[in-house]
Structure 1
């Protein structure tokens, strides 16, 4: 469980090691006016650098950071974030990825200075190998989303958004996979704004957990699986969601694709499909702001191939 206090501590600890990403006003003659938080411009292309820095810096401050460094399991945004933060802090990093990971991602991890270990055909195999290696070497294991320091670090985005809007926001829409970002932001803005989780219909981890009253395993698939493919909501995320009343709304894959294209057409913003899910909730009416409600959408990542965006002259 985390609270605003832990998020404030993370903000002080991280300082200017992460970018203060911009916000922009998004208006439409046919819909509500909202803020867009452009977190896709963060280091390594996603919000996860925030949590990575806080996890490593917290361990260093408490004397828990060994000379063997850090270990993570992720060929995606989390792996990139931990590799980047470790490099910036002068800490050795090992990142475990499945053999099926695209070489472009493996090469990028190596470019960031990480030792990359390719093992197994599935993420679960890489994860198991990483946790065993951490236990054997004493290295600090860094979870992609279900550790207090990681969630608190991600929550610094929420503090930043409140400052940038002068507190002039009622609702924040956030795409949910494992739930680390949602948990951190919900804790950061508790009592000041409401967080709404948005998930693909094909990866409803929070939705199913809320219905079951506990985190449950979910079969995941669809266009956003690369970034919202966690098979189970994190324990921390579930606890924060139930404490703060975070609901889940679902959007279909077709709407996610359309939302991603629209962000390009209207704003020249390139984002991941998972990121576009949050925006799709507004476009489809899965979430409809009330009259006068002030909403914000977090655009949380941009590690995507823009080649499938349809060229437009708008």
Structure 2
């Protein structure tokens, strides 16, 4: 991959803005954004990679339709929903435009965006094993992957992952449905209910005393020499990245069906909650392949854990953590509580990101309650971050800069949030 290894501040400015270091809400306009054509020309990935990922998804449609309710056509996708006028006015303020929600908080199978990467990578591994075993033949329906002969093969293998919860659940659901042994490595402070639902699937949960990054590192080391296992590396997986990238094709189709133009005169702002970066990075890459400079990705991070902002502001020659910026990585948005961003993602899409917006936990809970009472959306705190970011981003953006814009908030989880957890989150608002 061809990258410029250093992204530094200009005019002698510190690379990480002082408000970010003080954990204050910030709208960081990416000074390193370049035109899409230049970035894509230098990328290790191309549109053919995304199209191949989409083709693999479609090969597995018969299997997913057979295994999971809510996927009658085999597609793991969510609706694109218009935001009601009153709520839209609250979000937009004085800015023109329209607001839509890509409702991955209610995604089939897992109720979170991580299915797009986690489920996909398990399917890719299963296909690789089946091909090596000589089980694939021309014309075979992939519904056969649920048969005993395939399950006997998969039962001899383990799928492992490090996760704060939702990626682990996505890997666990798909892995166990095919008969794999599943092992999920989690930090000690990951939500107890997310650990419990994994155990109920039959997955082995391994808890680590450190944060998410240490859990991932421990899992990576444990499985690096295992020929009978596959480690889903949230920090460095090409399959995860491309599984997420294919989601751009779903949004493209839905925008066209809604009659929404995306071009230079009608920019598309997409608000993407960011943890380690795989999901928002893949979506950003896919949308840029389809819409070029007309798409304006805005990443959203907690004030205590803005790992992608810190990485992009500091440079790409080495991994930089939020701890180095004096931040503690403590946030109620557990899915975004990540100290170090994926360098694979930062190097691939760092010059495509329009801005990074950091938001405090209080805003997450406030918007979670607004969206539940005003729109019936059941979100995790991290999934509400995009609304908080849109509101803050537009408050600091001249209306003339977003004339004729469409704003899409990509929600990321919430449908499977237990009642007690959701009630507690509402109470915190």
Q: Which moved more, 1:291-300 or 1:44-53?
A: 44-53
Matched length: 311
| Counterpart Cα distance in 2 of 1:126 and 1:265 | 36
1:253 paired residue number? 361
Instruction: Quickly say closer, same or farther: Cα 1:248–1:101, change in 2 above 3 A.
Output: closer
Q: Could you tell me which of 198, 202, 206 is aligned with 2:308?
A: 206
**TM-score normalised by length of structure 2:** 0.66
CA displacement at 1:47 relative to structure 2: 0.9
Q: Where do residues 26-175 of structure 1 align in structure 2 (5 Å cutoff)? A: 26-28=83-85, 30=89, 31=92, 32-42=97-107, 43-63=109-129, 67-120=156-209, 122-138=211-227, 139-166=229-256, 168-169=261-262, 170-175=268-273
**1:30-82: CA deviation from partner (whole Å, max 9, x where unpaired):** 33421101101122221111211222232344448983221112251111111
**1:7-27: CA deviation from partner (whole Å, max 9, x where unpaired):** 222222123335221111014
CA displacement at 1:131 relative to structure 2: 2.1
CA contact (8 A) 2:165 2:195 kept: no
1:22 paired residue number? 79
Q: Could you tell me which of 321, 334, 337 is aligned with 1:217?
A: 321
1:279 paired residue number? 387
Higher Rg: 2
Q: Which moved more, 1:45-54 or 1:33-42?
A: 45-54
| Counterpart Cα distance in 1 of 2:255 and 2:128 | 34
Instruction: Quickly say closer, same or farther: Cα 1:253–1:122, change in 2 above 3 A.
Output: closer
Question: Gapped runs of 5+ residues in structure 1?
Answer: none
| Counterpart Cα distance in 1 of 2:164 and 2:204 | 12
Question: Gapped runs of 5+ residues in structure 2?
Answer: 1-43, 65-74, 133-152, 263-267
| Counterpart Cα distance in 2 of 1:86 and 1:147 | 17
| Counterpart Cα distance in 1 of 2:210 and 2:351 | 37
2:337 paired residue number? 229
CA contact (8 A) 1:2 1:187 kept: no
| Counterpart Cα distance in 2 of 1:286 and 1:92 | 49
CA contact (8 A) 1:183 1:236 kept: no
| Counterpart Cα distance in 1 of 2:213 and 2:350 | 27
Instruction: Quickly say closer, same or farther: Cα 1:308–1:267, change in 2 above 3 A.
Output: same
1:176 aligns with 2:278: no
Q: Which moved more, 1:96-105 or 1:72-81?
A: 96-105
CA contact (8 A) 1:14 1:53 kept: no
- What is the alpha-carbon root mean square deviation over aligned residues? 2.6
Instruction: Give SS of 1:165's match.
Output: helix
**1:244-302: CA deviation from partner (whole Å, max 9, x where unpaired):** 24421222332222221211121111111111111111223366571211111101111
**1:128-173: CA deviation from partner (whole Å, max 9, x where unpaired):** 4422331343311112353110011122222211111116451211
CA displacement at 1:113 relative to structure 2: 2.5
CA contact (8 A) 2:186 2:208 kept: yes
CA contact (8 A) 2:322 2:329 kept: no
Instruction: Give SS of 1:44's match.
Output: coil
1:6 paired residue number? 49
CA contact (8 A) 1:162 1:168 kept: no
**1:73-106: CA deviation from partner (whole Å, max 9, x where unpaired):** 2251111111011123332211223455554322
